[in-house]
Amino acid sequence: MRDLPLTAASFWFLLGLGAVTHAADRPNILFIVADDLGYGELGCFGGKDVLTGGGGADTFQFGSGTVTVTDFSTVQGDNIELFMSLGATHADAVTALDALIAATTGDTLSFSDGGKLTLTNVDVHSLHTSDFIVHP
Ligand SMILES: [Ca+2]
């Protein structure tokens, strides 16, 4: 019987094939433990996300979609971290956010990508850019 030459290419191919087979053998399973959570409440199924903080300083994170923060408080030092591009630089992003705050009446910030962030019982117009963490 003649030995097959094991070239570097065939070695890496077989190694990669083994990795694909191995990955397919193990499904990815994510367990989410929650109390009283229905499928319609998840944002991925069209639900609205509701965020509630605690009594101290909280950072609420917002990237897109429809999100309601129920207890935002500047007195407690809460802030909102925005995961979206509002400008090419940090200064541009802050300027755009400042303009958005100035143009907003009521409790909902509406972003150009369709995202809506509602701060229950907060007049968004009273907020400052320092209440937010922005990224370019
Ligand atoms: Ca808080």
Q: Can you tell me the distance from the alpha carbon of 93 to that of 80, in angstroms, rounded to the nearest whole number?
A: 14
From the CA of 10, how far away is ligand 1's center (Å)?
58
**Does residue 1 carry a pLDDT above 50?**
no
**Does residue 111 carry a pLDDT above 60?**
yes
Q: 118 in helix, strand or coil?
A: strand
Mean pLDDT of 48-76: 92
Taking Cα atoms as reference points, which of 74, 55, 91, 66 lies closest to residue 126? 74
Q: Can you tell me the distance from the alpha carbon of 105 to that of 124, in angstroms, rounded to the nearest whole number?
A: 7
pLDDT of 35? 83
From the CA of 131, how far away is ligand 1's center (Å)?
12
From the CA of 61, how far away is ligand 1's center (Å)?
13
pLDDT of 42? 67
Mean pLDDT of 76-103: 95
Mean pLDDT of 123-133: 95
Q: Can you tell me the distance from the alpha carbon of 113 to that of 70, in angstroms, rounded to the nearest whole number?
A: 22
Selected residue with higher pLDDT from 126 and 39: 126
| Residue-averaged pLDDT of the chain | 84
From the CA of 29, how far away is ligand 1's center (Å)?
32
Selected residue with higher pLDDT from 21 and 48: 48
